A = this chain, B = another copy of it.
Amino acid sequence: MQEVRVITPATVANVVCGFDCLGFALSEPFDEMLVRRTAEPGIRITHNDEFNLTTDPRQNMAGVVAAAMLERADVDFGVEIEITKHIMPGSGIGSSSASAVGTAVGMNRLLDDRFSQLELVDLALEGETLASGSRHADNVAPGVYGGFTLVRSVDPVDIVGLEHPPLWATIIHPQVEVKTAEARSILPAQVPLKTAIRQWSNVGSLVAGLAAGDYGLISRSMEDLIVEPVRRSLIPHLDEIKSASMAAGSLGGGISGSGPSMFMLSETEVTARSVEKAMHSVYRQTGIKYKTYVSAVCRDGARVLDAA
């Protein structure tokens, strides 16, 4: 194997009540990556996009992941990684983890698939940790596994692929900056036990609703009493987006990752597109630049398109 082309999807983390544990993969937007084996050792990174991300392999997540994999695999070749990023950095739909995940999946094919999915999450986390300053797998896990995932633990890594019925996501990305570090710093250090109980009852119910394909239960369980109340102020027009989307038939939703993107889930594509219209009608008047996406919750994670 000399060259592998990978596409790696955007992901939604912090799914409402499931802060820091629940995430899912989209089918679009996605990044494209080309991972090429080279005879000379070392890692070279190039970008075919407008985002001016660093190409220093020690600073770029793809580089960090690739280095970790070459070391663990104990091989003596090098790699060139060409990244064509479509997932806008800082959008809150897993742009940074997409680079880490795509590299892990592409490199794994070059290395004859020697690493398991769980090991790939662990490897991609080395890159993600560089980006976010802390070890969170809730974007990386759906990027590798696809579908809906639950991160039971990051140390050791324990990932649960969840059963789920067909679901459609509508995403709106208002082009304002929300720094992950700031979004983290406003979280409370302590929460009332009563509120925590209500939150974990909702997490359990959401997982049960997904497993049973019970859309009503999924909808009722999408309630976040802990994170959304404090982060709401960072996300422009969150409440209006939610209420307009619910009126258009959405099951529920909230902040994607640490924002600024918001997501709403729906049972069908038709509803997801009505939700998109409802989002337009809220944002059109705000003067804020924004993008929207409609995508199935995708059962595939990052995948090799072709390898030569």
A152/B200 contact (C-beta < 8 A), A192-B189, A208-B211, A212-B163 known: no
Question: Which 6 pairs of residues, A with B, have the shortest CB-CB distance?
Answer: A211-B211, A200-B200, A190-B190, A196-B196, A21-B201, A152-B205
A45 within 8 A of B: no
A21/B193 contact (C-beta < 8 A), A163-B212, A205-B150 known: no
Binary CB contact string for chain A from 8 to 35 against chain B (1 if under 8 A, 0 otherwise): 0000000001111110000000000000
A158 engages B204 (CB within 8 Å): no
A208/B158 contact (C-beta < 8 A), A201-B151, A221-B152 known: no
Which residues of B are found within 8 Å of A211, using beta-carbon distances? 163, 207-208, 211-212
Query: Would you give the shortest CB distance from A138 to chain B, in whole angstroms?
Result: 10
B163 engages A204 (CB within 8 Å): no
Which residues of B are found within 8 Å of A226, using beta-carbon distances? 193, 196
Query: Would you give the shortest CB distance from A121 to chain B, in whole angstroms?
Result: 15
A212 and B162 CA atoms in complex are apart in Å by 9
Q: How many residues of A contact B (CB 8 A)?
A: 41
B200 engages A158 (CB within 8 Å): no
A153 within 8 A of B: yes
* Copies assembled: 2
Query: Would you give the shortest CB distance from A14 to chain B, in whole angstroms?
Result: 10
- Within residues 143 to 167 of chain A, which ones have a CB less than 8 A from any CB in chain B? 150-153, 158, 160, 162-163
Query: Would you give the shortest CB distance from A186 to chain B, in whole angstroms?
Result: 12
B163 engages A201 (CB within 8 Å): no
A237 within 8 A of B: no
A199 within 8 A of B: yes
A217 within 8 A of B: yes
Binary CB contact string for chain A from 217 to 242 against chain B (1 if under 8 A, 0 otherwise): 10011000010000000000000000
A211 and B73 CA atoms in complex are apart in Å by 36
Cross-chain pairs A/B with CB under 8 angstroms, 29 sampled = A18-B200, A18-B204, A19-B197, A19-B200, A20-B201, A21-B197, A21-B200, A150-B204, A150-B208, A151-B201, A152-B217, A158-B205, A160-B205, A160-B208, A160-B217, A163-B208, A163-B211, A163-B212, A187-B193, A189-B193, A190-B190, A191-B196, A193-B226, A196-B196, A196-B199, A200-B204, A201-B203, A203-B204, A208-B211
